[in-house]
Chain A
Amino acid sequence: DQQVKQNSPSLSVQEGRISILNCDYTNSMFDYFLWYKKYPAEGPTFLISISSIKDKNEDGRFTVFLNKSAKHLSLHIVPSQPGDSAVYFCAASRYNFNKFYFGSGTKLNVKP
């Protein structure tokens, strides 16, 4: 039961440009959304999160947008850097329910 989906397995972007990673979910009960970055041979690293009471959250070069009516969230990275090349996972959970549903990941390649 894939409740969180990342439909783009890969994305290639030029250094300095914007990277936009997308994520869709099906469960309207989800109210907490996160993005993780994963390098090979390492565990996922928490990047940024957003609760359902907001539609945007920024942290430096990273901004997450939430569109509740479309059940869609996106991660914008501006400007993209070669060190951002990694697999990005989106995740979602319900209020006070510490079980997270993850997408299958998008591999971002930032070309110098």
Chain B
Amino acid sequence: KAGVTQTPRYLIKTRGQQVTLSCSPISGHRSVSWYQQTPGQGLQFLFEYFSETQRNKGNFPGRFSGRQFSNSRSEMNVSTLELGDSALYLCASSVRGFNSPLHFGNGTRLTVT
């Protein structure tokens, strides 16, 4: 079974620009979550999508948004980029059942200059 696929692996953007990150979940997984990892920090929850609906949201500004398509693929968008948005963005999929672990992709490394 193919794992979680994230594209692109690396991105360099300038302050004020916007960016879209893509995630393809494991086949059969309908829940997709996004996390941000910055140096010295654990993973911070951004949001979760299930059946094309946002189910949970973390404490991030409205510049961070996402969506999920009918095939469970998900995109995350960050508008008006700030230097502090430089981070590793991780996508994870799960079956969203009782006690189901997250399975992560390799992430997109975003650098904002």
A65 within 8 A of B: no
Size band of the interface chain B makes with A: 20 to 34
Q: Do A105 and B42 touch (CB < 8 A)?
A: yes
Binds A, one of B50-58, B69-77, B78-86: B50-58
Cβ distance A57 to chain B, nearest Cβ, rounded Å: 11
B24 within 8 A of A: no
Q: Do B99 and A51 touch (CB < 8 A)?
A: yes
Residues of A within 8 A of B101 (CB): 34, 46, 49
**Total number of residue pairs linking A and B with CB closer than 8 Å:** 63
- Interfacial residues of chain B within 80-106, with CB under 8 A of chain A in the complex: 90, 92, 94, 96, 98-106
Residues of B within 8 A of A46 (CB): 101-104
Residues of B within 8 A of A49 (CB): 99, 101
Q: Do A98 and B48 touch (CB < 8 A)?
A: yes
Residues of A within 8 A of B35 (CB): 102
Assembly CA distance A79 to B53 (angstroms)? 44
Assembly CA distance A99 to B107 (angstroms)? 18
Cβ distance B59 to chain A, nearest Cβ, rounded Å: 8
B residues in contact (CB < 8 Å) with A: 4, 6, 31, 33, 35, 40-45, 48, 50, 55-56, 58, 90, 92, 94, 96, 98-107
Instruction: Add 11 more A-B contacts to A43-B107, A98-B55 (CB < 8 A).
Output: A34-B101, A43-B90, A43-B92, A44-B90, A46-B102, A49-B99, A51-B99, A98-B96, A98-B100, A99-B33, A105-B42
Q: Which 4 A-B pairs have the closest CB atoms?
A: A43-B104, A102-B42, A102-B43, A104-B42
